[in-house]
Structure 1
Amino acid sequence: MAAYAALVNVMHIIEQIQLHPSPPISLDQKQVQSLTENITFLQEFLEVYPHDGSQEAYDLEGRIRDATHAAEDLIESHIVDRIHGGSTSSYQNLWKVIKDIVDRIRCGSTSSHGENSNDLYQDLGQVIKDIDFIKKEVVEIKAKKEIQDDKLHRQYSMPSVGSWRTSAPASENIMVGVDDILNEILERLTGHQSKRLLIPIVGMGGIGKTTLARNVYAKPIIKEYFDICAWVTVSQDYNLQEILLEILLSSKKDESSRETLRGMSEEELGEKIYKTLSGRRYLIVMDDMWSIEVWDKLKFFFPDNNNRSRIMITTRQSNLSFHLIGSHGFRMKLLDDDKSWNLLCKNVFGEEGCPRELEKIGKKIAETCKGLPLSIAVIGGLLAKSERTPPYWKYIAENLNPIVNLEDGAHCLKILSLSYDNLPVHLKPCFLYMGVFPEDMAIPVSRLVKLWVAEGFLKPISEKCLEEVAEDYLKHLIDRNLISVHRRGSSGKIKSCKIHDLLRDLCLREAQKEKFFCVPREHSPNMLQSINTERCIVVHSSTWRYDEYSRQLRSLICDFQGYTPPHTCILLRVLQGDDMSSYIQETSKDVNFGTDIFQLVNLRYLALTVGPHLNPKLTSSMGLLWNLQTLIIKGGISHRLAVAPSEIWMMPHLRHVMLEKLYLPDPPSVEEEKPVFVLRNLQTLSEVINFRCGEDVVKRIPNIKKLKVVYSNRFDEGSRRYRTYNFSRLHKLETLACGSFSMRGSYLSRNLTFPHSLRKLTLWGTSLGWEEMSSKVGSLPLLQVLKLDIISCEGPEWKPVEGQFCSLKYLQIQSCDDLEYWTADETNFPLLEQLVLVDLTELKEVPSGIGDIPTLRSIELTYCDSAVNSAKKIADEQEELGNLDLQVQVVLKNKILESLQTRNFKLGKN
């Protein structure tokens, strides 16, 4: 929802100006107070009264969005003008555009600008009046809605058409690939547990939850086993009285007529249900439940007769399932390619087989549906009543998503849109933003979170940084089955996620409708006409070229090489590109970022990839980027440094700085700098070469969470200057990667110390003794992931001390060439889940006590041939003890012996 996102973003802009030690502009405090009050009021209105789908709601939100955009345009363009002195024609043209926007959104106000059109105070004052005018209109709307809601509550009015359905169809629907879960549900329904059970079926919209429940409900064994079976569909806009009424009617145990029952109150209906169900074994199916609220109101009417009664629930909300029973319940997954093809065949041909000439293209169609039964059912229905020829099926395969939405758009889109409509308003911008990423992309969560923060639509939460807010929002979207987890890291955190193609299409459609962002599609006849009004543009096509973007463009994301934004886009906040060569100028031996990129003074997010022949060297003009939060530069000459200017220490809004080889100068002395800048927001800093962790640096980065440093003789300045003992003073540090080249046994390695806040530690080339490893690392109370890479530790034997590594879950030891023996059991690693050993050529055996650790799930050995027999022995012993959860996988340098394989012991590929 673009209006809400715009409101939150303006609040961020005001806050960033006020928090900056040396802000580029100053705002009138009375205007700030007035603007803040109005924006806060409109935010709260949108949170309480979400979009109802009406044209009036679209119009109102459009006016809120435009007025709020005008406010941010005025403020940010004034910043540009102030920093650059207003000397270029581009800025003068920009002011003309801004004035046009202000005039366009006046909402009927007749007051005019003062004589000086560049006067921020006057222009912002006019926009505040416009927003205040909208606020007054919203006050009236809010009052009317409260009256209507009160009437609905008192009169028990009927729900809107389609908000509930009466009963499940008696016949079974076509299903494929869910026999196992169907049988599990039947077993749970008819099992011996006497107390009343709740059985949730969870999954994304269109995945087949209701179909599965219908098939279960229609089984003869269910009708025989339960005295009473009742089905009610709850949906989003439920009406409690109607739900109770339908339960009574579908149970077929009450002789009262619908008219008689409709005259009863909720309490009377509930009491009647309780009496009807008492003493009987019952099954109630509550289909399409969206909130725990409805269950909290209904649960008192379902007695626990201690006679194996059951309540089956279908929902898209994983968190609802957790609330009900403390687990995911029966979670439905997308179909694989074979099951998708099987389901498509059944929908198209019934019991007949598919003609051979259609099989190949048919499998491609099924694969393109990405395992969503709803998509397969819609396209199957189309193919069943259409010509069965290879050319026609090929056309369908090449145009699948548009055809699915067109063929049964009212049904298919409505089902998926329900999930979006049900989202709280603060989650809607986050969900829509998923459409920014290319189809089928495994979206890196780290990148997604940084973009969400930079775009400015995350509402702050007390005691949490914005990245933590973003991670919470992502989890909420996953719980609602709108986004799926693609990969988790060694610590269990989500590394990447995915969105189904049809849901992405929904994002694109809603985003375009709300003017949230635009993804240009080639050969679109209307695209060129509207492109110059967009504020966020995402370019995926390598053939797309267009140079007349709006001067109000705020975000430009280019996922292909050789493209740069026009220089007129001076208000950009987010810029991401794969090859930005035209922004780079060659000077002598280095390659500097040119002055053009530093005209974009409002940048918050700058992520660029440079060619392998270039060496990025940041100039002092970088300090103009007063509000920069994220700087990511990839590529460049592998053996050259990217030298940061001293101005980097005067950029207080920095949150993440990530370059492949970064030279970081010392902070300016206090005498030279007024005021002193503390980078309180800085969380990520990598990859810093020969990082000098002096006291002045520690004070400047008090909240650093993730740090990667590399020490090398190639750029050596004397290891005593590095002060690695000060790492322990970085009290918020959670992830540290520290490596050393050609400095084995040095002063640097001997003086390494670590903060107790560490959760993940990666070392290489540090040449620590194994005793040092135990004393310095083993005592870290929160450490969950430890990766010991090449020559991180030296010595033939490691004897961990009892009681150490108390939180460690993941341990990797790689290329520690002289390690021969080590001991380990549950007293050393009580919570260990994964053990990974790589290229330990001298290791004689895996410690036998490892297998006794109750939490251990996997052991992986790669090129540790001498230790294979001990790993095999551990797997066999655990299998004999009934521990089938522990899996051991081995990759050998020598010939793979297939005869070694067992259920718990797998041989991987070399």
Structure 2
Amino acid sequence: MAAYAALVNVMHIIEQIQLHPSPPISLDEKQVQSLTETLTFLQDFLQVYPHDGSQEAYDFEGRIRDATRAAEDLIESHIVDRIHGGSTSSHGENSNDLYQDLWNVIKDMDFIKKEVVEIKAKKEIQDDKLPTQYSILPVGSSTTSSPASENIMVGLDDILIMDIVERLTGHPSKRLIIPIVGMGGIGKTTLARNIYAKPIIKESFDIYAWATISQDYNVREILLEILLSLNKDESRESLRGMSEEELGEKVYKTLFCRKYLIVMDDMWSIDVWDKLKRFFPDNNNGSRIMITTRLSSLSFDLIGSDGFSMKLLDDDKSWNLLCKNVFGEEGCPRELVEIGKKIAETCKGLPLSIAVIGGLLVKSEKTPQNWKYIAENLNPTVNLEDDARCLKILSMSYFNLPVHLRPCFLYMGVYPEDMDIPVSLVVRLWVAEGFLKPISGKCLEEVAEDYLKHLIDRNLISVHRRGSSRKIKSCKIHDLFRDLCLREAQKEKFIYAPRVHSPSMLQSINTERCIVLTSSTWSHDEYTRQLLPFGLQLPSVVRSLIYNFKEGYLPSRTSRLLRVLEADCLVCFMKDIFQFVNLRSLALSYTSNLNTKFPSSMCLLWNLQTLVINKGSRNLAFALPEIWMMPHLRHVELRRFYFPNPPSVEKDKPVFVLRNLQTLLEVLNFKCGEDVVKRIPNIKKLKLFYERLDEGLRECKLNNLGRLHKLESLSCFFDLSDVPTLSYLVQNLTFPHSLRKLALSRTRLGWEEMSSNVGSLPLLQVLKVKKESCKGPEWKPVEGQFCSLRYLLIDNCDDLEYWTADNINFPSLEQLVLRDLNNLREIPLGIGDIPTLRSIGVYFCSYSAIISAKEIAYQQDEFGNMDLQVHAFQDEFGM
């Protein structure tokens, strides 16, 4: 909802000006009070009477949006003028203009406020005569995860599953393509994932991989995804420089002589198969390629028949699926059965629609009166052709969202179709856009994570990947939901993300504030020929620019109010970027034309919160002294930079404490002095590299790390040949008790020393002991250590031969990963008795270590622990 987002954002702007130690402008206190009262009043109105989808609501909220944006434009324009030299005094002509102009805006908003008072009076009279529409739990209230959030398979045809499994595992021996065909939202991907995860599939194939294709496919990215799926030891970094042909050749060599299964999810065109098929060898050993598609014609093109066609659910299966989503195993109360079945019928047998309605019903009051209201507002005559059949149901789910969740949901439309969306990216962009309302006791990132969980709970967004600590790492949005986001966002003038290039696009851009331009909309030729001559003359009101091209270009200076810039590749110089002094979030990927020297003018970015520049290579490190003049910074992610000591305190000059700073990656030779630690009190994530010998290393005070009481994730990587210096640094290494994740590399600690220093950390859940982190042939952890540890990685510690452990040593362990331990004699058999253990991975270790892993697996099978998964590989052919 654009109106609510604008109201909250102006509140943020006012707050940031007031909190800044040296604000670029000053605001009159009476004006701030009057404006804040009006903004709060209008927010409360929208929360109680949110947009219901009617044209009247669109029109009225459009007026609130436009009036609020006028205030936003006025304040931010004066800030930019002031920073660029528009005025030399906070009491000069520029400030007088701001004072007068702001009163005019306040008068306009007060007029709307009076209208709202009248509307509220009318609605309160009407609401006395109507039932409560929905009873939604507010964000932050206690709620258990709903059954709707699980991957429920109720309703899928068991016979269909058996037929597909038989086709995958049976004869003939020649390579086969197996298409699964059905409309969007019918459950093709769910069915394929269910089959893909079956033990019989894992046992029948030597190697398997999953790749998402989508409508706007990229052959190189598909090959990359297949390789990463085939070999868990590969990383995107290691494959980044390979061409499409080189990646394809690597796929071919990996699959050659092996029995493989490749799943290609959401294929739209025979063209992508024509470009990929040469990389999939026919080994005449029963290899299979399973494809999901909406297009029956594609199945005919591939195999000459319909393949396995998925049908809509009948009324009984629809009701069973809805019941399972809403009530789990408890079953539906008798008084809701009749009306519940009517609601299920309205979904027309589409599992996606049932899941969405299930998420809606879980969060609403479970009374016949409330369910009847929902049933009456679902239009049973929705167009049954193509994806439009779901839009009514999806729209209802959107309009049922609490008002504070609506901008978050709509914003998911900025991400490309089928993208594996990092949660960290979602969170920082929501924060930068300014539509998150603060909650007492929580930072904005925690608020964003709460909001995301609520959207997941309602099945509007799905969890795609979890990290080693089980925290959600990435999510996905179904293309039908994304379509809804883009349609509604464009109606509300919230996001402009054209899906098809058209001549009118340039004219439409002129009035937009958040613009998303992708290579799927503009070919590179169209972009170069049509948009660049337009000079990237984006409108002066644009606030967010998100685009991905092989060569992106900086917008013109007319877009001076820009506050979010996300670009895959940008051809420019740093000094040109920092002309946009209103930036809150700047994230750029690597390009050879990017000059990485940060100008001193960087500190003019008075409200910068996020600075992310992924260089993709190790260039010469640089210092970033301007960071101490940017108090609103929250996240800094760069490739190797020196974090300098803060400047000495000068009389009559503000002292900048970076209270908002939470992330610092990757800091080179961090001195960790007392004056630094005091000025970054709330740091949560820190990644340190010590790899260049300089005289200052002996001044490092790594014992001060223990004073960072909010630090949750720490990575320390040492690459120093000077043994005395390394020994000095490591001996002073102290860890705060707040740590939840720790990664060490080349620290060369003794095993006992590591256990005593690390094992006592009470909250530690993830420990990664990487290359040469520990030395010595034997590790004997003692009882009482590593009590909270869930994930343990030991990688490339060649000294380790004997490891003695039992279930009392790692009582909470869920995942154990061992890699490149050539001398390890065996994995302690007692590890298998840990009740929480779910997986053991042994890769490129000694033969005896792999044998012991299989003994643990066999032992657990004997005792009925079927949940424990053991994966072991010794060489390129696996075992």
Higher mean alpha-carbon deviation, 289-298 vs 140-149, is at 289-298
In structure 2, relative to structure 1, the CA distance for the partners of 1:534 and 1:516 (3 Å cut) is same
Matches of 2:803 and 2:314, distance apart in 1: 52
User: Which of 537, 552, 556 is the equivalent residue of 1:548?
Assistant: 537
Point out which structure has higher relative CO (alpha carbons under 8 A, 6+ apart): 2
In structure 2, relative to structure 1, the CA distance for the partners of 1:143 and 1:226 (3 Å cut) is closer
User: Which of 658, 665, 681 is the equivalent residue of 1:686?
Assistant: 665
Alpha-carbon displacement from aligned partner over 1:286-317 (angstroms, at most 9, x marks no partner): 98583568656569x9xxxxxxxxxx99x99x
> 2:695 aligns to what SS in structure 1?
coil
Whether the 8 Å contact between 1:205 and 1:416 is mirrored in structure 2 is no
Q: Give the counterpart letter for 1:695 in structure 2.
A: E
Q: CA deviation at 1:740?
A: 0.3
> 1:533 aligns to what SS in structure 2?
coil
In structure 2, relative to structure 1, the CA distance for the partners of 1:454 and 1:209 (3 Å cut) is farther
Whether the 8 Å contact between 1:533 and 1:549 is mirrored in structure 2 is no
Alpha-carbon displacement from aligned partner over 1:62-110 (angstroms, at most 9, x marks no partner): 010000000010100100111111299xxxxxxxxxxxxxxxxxxxxxx
User: Which of 861, 879, 890 is the equivalent residue of 2:872?
Assistant: 890
1:865 equivalent in structure 2? 846
User: Which of 119, 122, 125 is the equivalent residue of 2:100?
Assistant: 122
User: Which of 676, 699, 713 is the equivalent residue of 1:721?
Assistant: 699
Matches of 1:475 and 1:227, distance apart in 2: 27
1:708 equivalent in structure 2? 687
Matches of 2:367 and 2:334, distance apart in 1: 21
1:499-518 equivalences in 2 (<5 Å): 499-518=477-496
User: Which of 583, 599, 611 is the equivalent residue of 2:579?
Assistant: 599
| Alignment of 1:831 onto 2:812 | yes
Whether the 8 Å contact between 2:671 and 2:697 is mirrored in structure 1 is no
> 1:787 aligns to what SS in structure 2?
strand
Bigger-Rg structure (1/2): 1
Whether the 8 Å contact between 1:236 and 1:290 is mirrored in structure 2 is no
1:44 equivalent in structure 2? 44
Matches of 2:119 and 2:764, distance apart in 1: 54
| Alignment of 1:625 onto 2:629 | no
Matches of 2:719 and 2:357, distance apart in 1: 61
2:411 equivalent in structure 1? 433
Matches of 1:770 and 1:686, distance apart in 2: 27
1:15-34 equivalences in 2 (<5 Å): 15-34=15-34
Higher mean alpha-carbon deviation, 561-570 vs 801-810, is at 561-570
Q: CA deviation at 1:674?
A: 2.0
User: Which of 290, 312, 317 is the equivalent residue of 2:360?
Assistant: 290
Matches of 1:209 and 1:39, distance apart in 2: 50
1:60 equivalent in structure 2? 60
1:238-637 equivalences in 2 (<5 Å): 290-291=360-361, 297=367, 404-405=386-387, 409=388, 411-541=389-519, 542=524, 543-544=526-527, 545=531, 546=534, 547-563=536-552, 564-582=554-572, 584=573, 593-594=574-575, 596-612=576-592, 616-635=596-615
Matches of 1:217 and 1:31, distance apart in 2: 56
1:718-797 equivalences in 2 (<5 Å): 718-743=696-721, 744=723, 745-797=726-778
In structure 2, relative to structure 1, the CA distance for the partners of 1:827 and 1:226 (3 Å cut) is closer
Matches of 1:466 and 1:138, distance apart in 2: 29
Higher mean alpha-carbon deviation, 37-46 vs 545-554, is at 545-554
Q: CA deviation at 1:206?
A: 6.9
Whether the 8 Å contact between 2:565 and 2:585 is mirrored in structure 1 is yes
| Alignment of 1:664 onto 2:653 | no
Q: CA deviation at 1:732?
A: 0.2
Matches of 1:821 and 1:120, distance apart in 2: 73
Q: Give the counterpart letter for 2:11 in structure 1.
A: M
User: Which of 811, 836, 840 is the equivalent residue of 2:821?
Assistant: 840
Whether the 8 Å contact between 1:117 and 1:123 is mirrored in structure 2 is no
> 1:152 aligns to what SS in structure 2?
coil
User: Which of 214, 217, 232 is the equivalent residue of 2:316?
Assistant: 214
In structure 2, relative to structure 1, the CA distance for the partners of 1:116 and 1:709 (3 Å cut) is closer
Q: Give the counterpart letter for 2:473 in structure 1.
A: K
> 2:338 aligns to what SS in structure 1?
strand
Matches of 2:333 and 2:781, distance apart in 1: 62
Q: CA deviation at 1:637?
A: 5.2
Matches of 1:702 and 1:27, distance apart in 2: 29
**% identical equivalent positions:** 66
Q: CA deviation at 1:635?
A: 1.0
2:859 equivalent in structure 1? 877
Q: Give the counterpart letter for 1:886 in structure 2.
A: L
| Alignment of 1:151 onto 2:253 | no
TM-align CA RMSD: 3.5
In structure 2, relative to structure 1, the CA distance for the partners of 1:822 and 1:154 (3 Å cut) is closer
| Alignment of 1:822 onto 2:803 | yes
Matches of 2:463 and 2:357, distance apart in 1: 25
Unaligned 5+ runs, structure 2: 134-153, 163-183, 188-309, 322-330, 345-355
2:618 equivalent in structure 1? 638
Q: CA deviation at 1:868?
A: 1.2
In structure 2, relative to structure 1, the CA distance for the partners of 1:608 and 1:154 (3 Å cut) is closer
In structure 2, relative to structure 1, the CA distance for the partners of 1:614 and 1:455 (3 Å cut) is closer
In structure 2, relative to structure 1, the CA distance for the partners of 1:801 and 1:226 (3 Å cut) is closer
Alpha-carbon displacement from aligned partner over 1:229-279 (angstroms, at most 9, x marks no partner): 9843359999xxxxxxxxxxxxxxxxxxxxxxxxxxxxxxxxxxxxxxxxx
| Alignment of 1:233 onto 2:355 | no
Whether the 8 Å contact between 2:683 and 2:708 is mirrored in structure 1 is yes
In structure 2, relative to structure 1, the CA distance for the partners of 1:87 and 1:599 (3 Å cut) is farther
| Alignment of 1:803 onto 2:781 | no
Q: Give the counterpart letter for 1:56 in structure 2.
A: E
Matches of 1:38 and 1:669, distance apart in 2: 42
Alpha-carbon displacement from aligned partner over 1:874-906 (angstroms, at most 9, x marks no partner): 11111111111111110112765xxxxxxxxxx
Whether the 8 Å contact between 2:551 and 2:569 is mirrored in structure 1 is yes
Whether the 8 Å contact between 1:617 and 1:643 is mirrored in structure 2 is no
Q: Give the counterpart letter for 1:704 in structure 2.
A: I
Q: CA deviation at 1:117?
A: 11
Matches of 1:154 and 1:230, distance apart in 2: 17
Q: CA deviation at 1:525?
A: 3.7
Matches of 1:651 and 1:425, distance apart in 2: 32
In structure 2, relative to structure 1, the CA distance for the partners of 1:179 and 1:66 (3 Å cut) is farther
Matches of 2:832 and 2:19, distance apart in 1: 54
Q: CA deviation at 1:609?
A: 2.0
Matches of 2:334 and 2:618, distance apart in 1: 72
Whether the 8 Å contact between 1:234 and 1:289 is mirrored in structure 2 is no
Matches of 2:631 and 2:518, distance apart in 1: 33
> 2:510 aligns to what SS in structure 1?
helix
TM-score normalised to the size of structure 2? 0.72
Q: Give the counterpart letter for 2:832 in structure 1.
A: G
Whether the 8 Å contact between 1:693 and 1:722 is mirrored in structure 2 is yes
| Alignment of 1:3 onto 2:109 | no
In structure 2, relative to structure 1, the CA distance for the partners of 1:149 and 1:890 (3 Å cut) is same
Matches of 2:65 and 2:473, distance apart in 1: 33
Matches of 1:565 and 1:556, distance apart in 2: 9
Whether the 8 Å contact between 1:443 and 1:498 is mirrored in structure 2 is yes
2:165 equivalent in structure 1? none
Q: CA deviation at 1:210?
A: 10
Alpha-carbon displacement from aligned partner over 1:852-889 (angstroms, at most 9, x marks no partner): 11100110000013311111111111111111111111
Q: Give the counterpart letter for 2:591 in structure 1.
A: G
Matches of 2:791 and 2:652, distance apart in 1: 44
In structure 2, relative to structure 1, the CA distance for the partners of 1:32 and 1:670 (3 Å cut) is same
